Structure 1
Amino acid sequence: MTIMRIDPEDRWSEAVIHNNVIYYTSVPTNLVNDAYQQTQSALAEIDKILERANSDKTRILDVTLFLVNKSDFAAMNKAWDEWVAKGKAPVRCTVQAGLMKPEYLVEIKIIAAVKS
Structure 2
Amino acid sequence: MAEIKRFQTNPRMSGAVVHGGVVSLSGQVAIDHRGGTVANQAREVLERIDLLLADAGTDKSKLLTANLYLTDIASLQALNMAWDRWVVPGCAPTRTTIQAVLASPDYALEIAVTAAVD
Moved over 4 A (4+): none
2:92 match: secondary structure: coil
Count of residue pairs brought into register by the alignment = 115
TM-score computed with the length of structure 2 as normaliser? 0.93
TM-score normalised by the chain length of structure 1? 0.95
Equivalent runs, 1:49-64 vs 2, <5 Å = 49-64=52-67
**1-side partners of 2:40 and 2:32: how far apart?**
7
Which ranges of structure 1 fall in alignment gaps of 5 or more residues?
none
CA distance in 2, matches of 1:48, 1:7: 11
Matches within 5 A, 1:19-34: 19-24=20-25, 25-31=27-33, 32-34=35-37
Give the Cα separation in 2 of the matches to 1:92 and 1:30: 25
The percentage of counterpart residues that share the same residue type is: 37
RMSD: 0.9
| Distance in 2 (alpha carbons) for counterparts of 1:49 and 1:104 | 19
Superposed CA offset, 1:74-108 (max 9, x none): 00001001111011100011010000111100000
In structure 1, the residue matched to 2:87 is 84
